[in-house]
Chains A and B, each alone.
Chain A
């Protein structure tokens, strides 16, 4: 049997267009990472095909940066993270790709990265510098974070959107404090407190971390802000507060718990109502209605759209990877220090997507409509070719399912006072059920007073087997 050109196109598209989402198409990397085989995951990532590199450049750089950071290769990690940061700074839409995405799907464009993902790039980079003892370099990242969160907060005018990141303010406070700039540290901690209390409370039902309250009172005292010191002591019910500096300084401990959500695809059917020059795409189940004015369109387009009755549109949606551990504590001698959640990336990711869902819906509908009009016009000229276009449209219709999937589900934080000499610390991770807690021991030898930093990563999620770092 001889294949004609149209059949050849369809078959080619069938083989080149995968129906897998982004997570599934990188399965071997994701499986290695989730099982804690980080060297294998890194090798897999770095040997991934360079085809379509530009479309996933940000994710390639961010994943490399994160993996190398967890492996303790901070210098190498920061090389990738710096490139990821520059990518975010220089990113400009390629309108040719954008146009192509309206005829195929948004996966043909370069992934720009989500707002919170760009902040996380700088978080990892700053922490790498702090762990290497490079405080001046960490301060540069702190200033970059400040610019990024200002840009974010200028974009929206309401607390009902993710426009302020409390954890990033908290992180900035830690970086300033590591540099002995207690004045700026206090400002950052106070800003974090305000965001936890307002936007985070409303959007994510978050509590103000108890450790942050300590941080505010301490830095108010250390920066000589007497009235603020008195005010916050009273505000937090800590009138009896007395500061005794630990002889060895503080251990700043972060726990990265679980894995961030993955983006999957969901499809919705829309029906079309035409009334004069207005065509409305309606999904009654979701209560969505998108009107399009056709007054400036020619008759062909109008007829094309009017002849559509129902069509499928693909949208992205986040799927949570529920955490295995639900709480953690650090034990030093007879004292226990509870780790408190300071950032829930799972909820933030969902919020960021929800905020632009209307835009996503509009783009997807325009895409579907353009495809259908093309199909309709082709069908008028040649029934076979029109059918072929219909098949191509169905094959190429997919949502953008890319996101930074190696980020943790949530971040926890606590401080532990260190003494000069040897400090034996135990971290206990507990589940919501009555299983025996998982224990991990660390030894810190302090010969000079200062702040030291540790990040513990547990990759467990419900129903999978993973490792620790």
Chain B
């Protein structure tokens, strides 16, 4: 009977199980078309390298006569997606750190924790190993950023243009030392 055949086929499908595969984190994979780790990594690396090799940055370092110290300030997300700005900032910091072309100053959150630890050392650590007050390095430059997106939708088609702007400013003079912008345009069809 045909019904039996259909049911047998359905029952055979019960053998399907969940599959999990580990993949190289560097591999680019797009599923939904939204901002993802690939965009975050590509933009952070490309823009930070562009910054560190820019003429204006090199000139600033030359005038200072030392490796400039950079602090990454805030990156404002103006898109409609919940993009993890912290993750993006960490990728920028990692690229700066690995470049060896600039020093990195800790963020406000970590500085507070370090200061608390240093305060406790004054009471509990031996004199030889106690970290001293007043030895922190002040940042020469601060990096700010903004993420924007424009979306155009028609039926089941969507075009999203992400615009990421970063700017590096001299802490002393408020003069903009470098200004960079990168766009990622995606066409998504459901």
Interface residues of A (CB under 8 A from B): 90, 92, 94-96, 98-99, 102-103, 143, 146, 150, 154, 157, 172, 183-184, 187-188, 190-191, 194, 223-225, 228, 297-298, 300-301, 370, 373-374, 377
Q: Is the CB of B155 within 8 A of A187?
A: no
24 contacting pairs across A/B (C-beta < 8 A) = A92-B18, A95-B10, A95-B13, A96-B10, A96-B11, A99-B7, A150-B32, A154-B32, A157-B155, A157-B190, A183-B77, A187-B77, A187-B80, A187-B81, A187-B82, A188-B82, A194-B80, A228-B78, A297-B2, A300-B1, A300-B2, A301-B3, A370-B3, A374-B3
Q: Is the CB of B77 within 8 A of A184?
A: yes
Cβ of B139 to closest chain A Cβ, rounded Å: 20
Cβ of A101 to closest chain B Cβ, rounded Å: 10
Q: Is the CB of A98 within 8 A of B1?
A: no
Interface residues of B (CB under 8 A from A): 1-3, 7, 10-11, 13-14, 16, 18, 32, 34, 76-82, 85, 155-156, 190
Give CA–CA (A99, B12) in the complex, Å. Answer: 11
Give CA–CA (A190, B80) in the complex, Å. Answer: 8
Secondary structure at chain A's binding surface: helix, strand, loop or mixed? helix
Task: Please tell me which one of the listed residues A102, A183, A190 contacts residue B76 in the complex, with CB atoms under 8 A apart.
Answer: A183
Give CA–CA (A157, B155) in the complex, Å. Answer: 7
Cβ of B150 to closest chain A Cβ, rounded Å: 15
Residues of chain B within 8 A of A90, CB atoms compared: 18
Residues of chain A within 8 A of B32, CB atoms compared: 150, 154
Q: Is the CB of A191 within 8 A of B80?
A: yes
Task: Please tell me which one of the listed residues B2, B14, B76 contacts residue A95 in the complex, with CB atoms under 8 A apart.
Answer: B14
Give CA–CA (A187, B82) in the complex, Å. Answer: 7
Q: Is the CB of A377 within 8 A of B1?
A: yes
Give CA–CA (A427, B45) in the complex, Å. Answer: 54
Residues of chain A within 8 A of B78, CB atoms compared: 225, 228
Output the residue of A96, A103, A297 with the most chain B CB within 10 A. A96
Given A187-B77, A301-B2, A370-B3, A146 contacting B11 (CB threshold 8 A) = no
Output the residue of A99, A143, A188 with the most chain B CB within 10 A. A99
Q: Is the CB of A95 within 8 A of B11?
A: yes
Give CA–CA (A9, B11) in the complex, Å. Answer: 24
Give CA–CA (A301, B2) in the complex, Å. Answer: 8
Residues of chain A within 8 A of B85, CB atoms compared: 183
Give CA–CA (A373, B155) in the complex, Å. Answer: 42
Q: Is the CB of A373 within 8 A of B3?
A: yes
Given A150-B32, A183-B85, A225 contacting B76 (CB threshold 8 A) = yes
Which 10 residue pairs are nearest across A and B when measured between Cβ atoms?
A99-B10, A157-B156, A95-B13, A95-B14, A99-B7, A96-B14, A95-B10, A157-B190, A183-B77, A96-B11
Cβ of B14 to closest chain A Cβ, rounded Å: 4
Q: Is the CB of B18 within 8 A of A154?
A: no
Task: Please tell me which one of the listed residues B1, B11, B79 contacts residue A187 in the complex, with CB atoms under 8 A apart.
Answer: B79
Cβ of A129 to closest chain B Cβ, rounded Å: 18
Give CA–CA (A300, B78) in the complex, Å. Answer: 64
Given A184-B77, A187-B77, A146 contacting B82 (CB threshold 8 A) = yes
Give CA–CA (A301, B13) in the complex, Å. Answer: 24
Query: Nearest B residue to A370 by beta-carbon distance?
Result: B3
Query: Nearest B residue to A103 by beta-carbon distance?
Result: B7
Give CA–CA (A261, B76) in the complex, Å. Answer: 42
Residues of chain A within 8 A of B82, CB atoms compared: 143, 146, 172, 184, 187-188
Given A183-B76, A184-B77, A224-B76, A150 contacting B155 (CB threshold 8 A) = no
Query: Nearest A residue to B76 by beta-carbon distance?
Result: A183
Give CA–CA (A172, B80) in the complex, Å. Answer: 13
